[in-house]
Copies of this chain bind each other. A is one copy, B any other.
Amino acid sequence: MTVSKTAEKSSEKPSDATKGRKDATEGLPEALQLGELSEQLGYVLKRAQLKVFENFLRCMASLQLTPAQFSVLLLVEKNPGRNQTEIASTLGILRPNFVALLDNLESRDLCARIRSTNDRRSHILVLTDKGKAVLTRAKKLVATKHESRLNELLGQANREALLEMLSKIANEF
């Protein structure tokens, strides 16, 4: 050990004003200094991501769609006729973990697995009619409640610049 146990506060300071934290300026617990933390991109990136996901979930509460589920619906709509492996891998989801996710969407009749006639191992993925309808509503909610709020916070131009830089990091880092 390099530090003596049972010490207290800033040493070299046997003063009286800061003893027991009972000054007249009490009440607030004196917010901590973030210091270099607020300059760490990873830290800020993570916090921002949590906030965005949190807001996304609130906006989608009526449809009960998580970001991952929404991304699956979007990708299946854009790429109908693909199998689980293809959809999962382009989303960065491992096949085993994709099974339960799909089970959920299928049990809610948003998505369907269809045994392919070409390759009877694979399951072709398609949106059901209900899935298409829900996705349409989801897109509207995201646009009007979610992304729009980001626009008014950052401004249209900044939001696009942000997206471009994040894409660069996601793809070229």
Residues of chain A at the chain B interface (Cβ within 8 Å): 1-3, 5-10, 20-21, 29, 31-53, 55-56, 67, 71, 74-75, 77-82, 86-87, 90, 92, 109, 112, 114-118, 124, 126, 128-130, 139, 142, 146-147, 149-150, 153-154, 158-159, 161-163, 165-170, 172-173
Contact indicator B170/A37 (Cβ below 8 Å): no
Copies in the complex: 2
Complex: how many Å from CA A169 to CA B49? 9
Given contacts A8-B124, A56-B42, contact A20 B118 (CB under 8 A): yes
A147 — which chain B residues lie within 8 A by C-beta? Answer: 40-41
Contact indicator B114/A5 (Cβ below 8 Å): yes
Contact indicator B43/A7 (Cβ below 8 Å): no
Contact indicator A1/B52 (Cβ below 8 Å): no
Given contacts A34-B90, A52-B173, contact A166 B45 (CB under 8 A): yes
Contact indicator B130/A82 (Cβ below 8 Å): no
Given contacts A67-B42, A128-B2, A173-B149, contact A36 B78 (CB under 8 A): yes
Complex: how many Å from CA A70 to CA B71? 32
A9 — which chain B residues lie within 8 A by C-beta? Answer: 81, 124
A41 — which chain B residues lie within 8 A by C-beta? Answer: 52, 147, 150, 159, 162-163, 166
Instruction: Report the minimal beta-carbon distance from A115 to chain B, rounded to whole angstroms.
Output: 6
A82 — which chain B residues lie within 8 A by C-beta? Answer: 32
A168 — which chain B residues lie within 8 A by C-beta? Answer: 153-154
Contact indicator B10/A81 (Cβ below 8 Å): yes
